[in-house]
């Protein structure tokens, strides 16, 4: 209960700070919107339309009033009804002239789809790899893996992406250069999903390569610690099978520090990657957020930020609860 109250308080403080920050961005959204048609309008017509827009956007009201309307503590200027964030209205995108929810839903779905597969593949590769390297610590293969994975860790993702495109798309022609689906395809159902996955393969591999160094090292280090524990030595002395020692005894002990990372990975399914989305032409959250920032679309930025704020707050709660689940000695209320 205390944690839930803490989440609510942090949410409101964050929302207010965020709103103030975005309102401080020096811009005149009404003028920006009309800049393109100004040339074709006579001055009086332009001025009338400009003032109408400013009024409609509520740009001349004090920031506290605007915040209260946006969050839903005060009624909307035009409709006279409470219609803010608390009522489920995430705002209106000036850039797209649509409700923010309508703007966000497609990129968010794309991002989630992409990240689910990336996360699962990454964990499926890095965890066994980390365990294997820990068990074979110091072997030539372990050293080789450490050297290879550090490449992905060190190189910028942008460079990795371009190299992968050149090798796998241009030279080998295994994958398309970019895009999200076969141009002009009319696939439906599973076929459509597989087509989407095929187009996602290369960015997923780039993401995996970039993540190999970090996650596998984390697991390896944790497992090495666990394997040096007294209980492991005792288990081995008792003649327990090596596989059981590693996967049952050592891995359970190694899991505690790793679990934060694993949960973080799953929570990151909502996060877009600006680099990958731009290089591979994916319609995701990273690219949308940058466009919103560049376009001074404060409400769209806020909607995205507030969504991530909620995800982060819930993520912290889930991580704390997960500690208790993995290690019964830990309890959240203690």
Partner 1 sequence: MKKFLALLLAVMMVISMAACGGNNTDATAAPTDAADVTEAPATDAAEVRENKVILGDITELTGDFTGGLVTNGASDMMIYDLVNDYGTMVANQGGNYVENPTVMKEWSRTDNEDGTATYTITINEGLVYNNGEPITAKDYAFSVMKSCTPFASALSFTSGTKDMIVGGAAAYAGEVNYVSGLHLIDEYTLSLTIVADYANYYYADTYAAVSPWNEEFWLGEGYGIADDGEGCYITLNGEAIVLEGGGDAEANFRAAMSATDGYVSAGPYSITKYDPATSQCTLDINPNYAGNFEGVKPSIQTIVVVRAEDATWADQLKTGGMDIYAGITDGDDINTLLDMIDEGAELRAIAYDRAGYGKIQFLCDVGPTQFVEVRHAVAQLLNRDEFVNTFCQGFGTTVDAPYATCLQMYMDSKDFLADNLKSYAYDVDAANAELAEGGWTLTAEGNEWTSSEDGLRHKDVTGLDVNTDGCIEVGGKTLMPLQIQWYSTEGNPVSDLLAIMLANSDAVAQSGMEIVLTVGDWNGLLGAIYHEDADGNKVAPEYGMLNLATGFTSALYDYSFNWTDDPDYVAMGYNSNYLFDMGEGGLDQLSMDMVYAVEPGDYEAYLDLWQQYIVRWNELLPEIPLYCNIYYTAVPSWVEGYEQNSFWDFADAIVYASIPSAQ
Quick one: 209 or 313, whose CB is closer to partner 1?
209
Cβ-based burial of 127 (10 A; exposed 0-12, middle 13-18, buried ≥19) = buried
**Other CB atoms within 10 Å distance of the CB of residue 99:** 17
Q: Are 20 and 67 in contact (CB under 8 A)?
A: yes
Quick one: 95 or 226, whose CB is closer to partner 1?
95
Minimum distance from residue 236 beta carbon to partner 1 (Å): 22
Copy the structure tokens of residue 99: 């409700």
**Other CB atoms within 10 Å distance of the CB of residue 177:** 14
> Phi/psi class of residue 82: alpha, beta or left (left: φ > 0; alpha: ψ in -120 to 50)?
beta
Q: Which DSSP symbol is given to 35? A: G
Quick one: 88 or 183, whose CB is closer to partner 1?
183
Quick one: 8 or 109, whose CB is closer to partner 1?
109
State how far the Cα of 12 lies from the Cα of 30, in Å rounded to an integer.
Answer: 28
Token pair 């395809």: residue: 185
Copy the structure tokens of residue 245: 């020692």
> Which of 82, 14, 104, 77 is closest to 297 using CA atoms?
104
Quick one: 148 or 187, whose CB is closer to partner 1?
187
Minimum distance from residue 287 beta carbon to partner 1 (Å): 8
Minimum distance from residue 196 beta carbon to partner 1 (Å): 8
Quick one: 262 or 306, whose CB is closer to partner 1?
262
> Which of 303, 273, 274, 272 is closest to 22 using CA atoms?
303
Minimum distance from residue 179 beta carbon to partner 1 (Å): 6
Minimum distance from residue 9 beta carbon to partner 1 (Å): 31
Minimum distance from residue 260 beta carbon to partner 1 (Å): 17
Q: Rounded to whole angstroms, what are the CA distances from 255 to 217, 249, 320?
A: 13, 10, 14
State how far the Cα of 137 lies from the Cα of 151, in Å rounded to an integer.
Answer: 19
Quick one: 93 or 313, whose CB is closer to partner 1?
93
Minimum distance from residue 207 beta carbon to partner 1 (Å): 12
């Amino acid at each position: 209960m205390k944690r839930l109250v803490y989440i609510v308080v942090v949410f409101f403080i964050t929302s207010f700070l965020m709103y103030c920050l975005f309102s401080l961005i020096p811009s005149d959204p009404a003028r920006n919107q009309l800049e393109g048609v100004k040339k074709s309008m006579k001055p009086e017509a332009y001025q009338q339309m400009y003032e109408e827009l400013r009024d409609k956007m509520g740009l001349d009201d004090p920031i506290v009033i605007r915040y209260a309307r946006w969050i839903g503590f005060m009624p909307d200027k035009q409709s006279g009804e409470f219609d803010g964030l608390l009522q489920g209205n995430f705002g209106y995108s000036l850039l797209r002239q649509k409700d923010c929810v309508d703007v966000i839903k497609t990129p968010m779905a794309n991002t989630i789809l992409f990240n689910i597969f990336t996360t699962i593949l990454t964990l499926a590769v890095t965890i066994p790899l980390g365990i294997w390297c820990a068990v074979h610590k110091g072997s030539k293969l372990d050293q080789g893996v450490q050297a290879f994975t550090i490449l992905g860790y060190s190189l910028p993702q942008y460079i990795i992406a371009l190299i992968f495109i050149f090798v796998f798309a241009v030279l080998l022609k295994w994958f398309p250069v970019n895009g999200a689906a076969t141009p002009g395809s009319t696939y439906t159902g599973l076929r459509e999903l597989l087509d989407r996955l095929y187009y996602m393969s290369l960015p997923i591999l780039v993401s995996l390569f970039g993540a190999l160094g970090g996650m596998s090292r984390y697991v390896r280090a944790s497992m090495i610690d666990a394997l040096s524990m007294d209980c492991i030595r005792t288990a081995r002395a008792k003649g327990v099978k090596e596989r059981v020692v590693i996967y049952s005894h050592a891995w359970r002990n190694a899991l505690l520090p790793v679990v934060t990372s694993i949960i973080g990975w799953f929570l990151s399914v909502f996060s877009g990657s600006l680099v990958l989305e731009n290089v591979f032409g994916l319609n995701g959250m990273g690219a949308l957020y940058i466009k919103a920032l560049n376009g001074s679309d404060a409400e769209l930025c806020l909607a995205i930020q507030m969504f991530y704020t909620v995800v982060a707050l819930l993520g912290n709660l889930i991580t704390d609860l997960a500690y208790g689940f993995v290690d019964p000695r830990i309890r959240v209320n203690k």
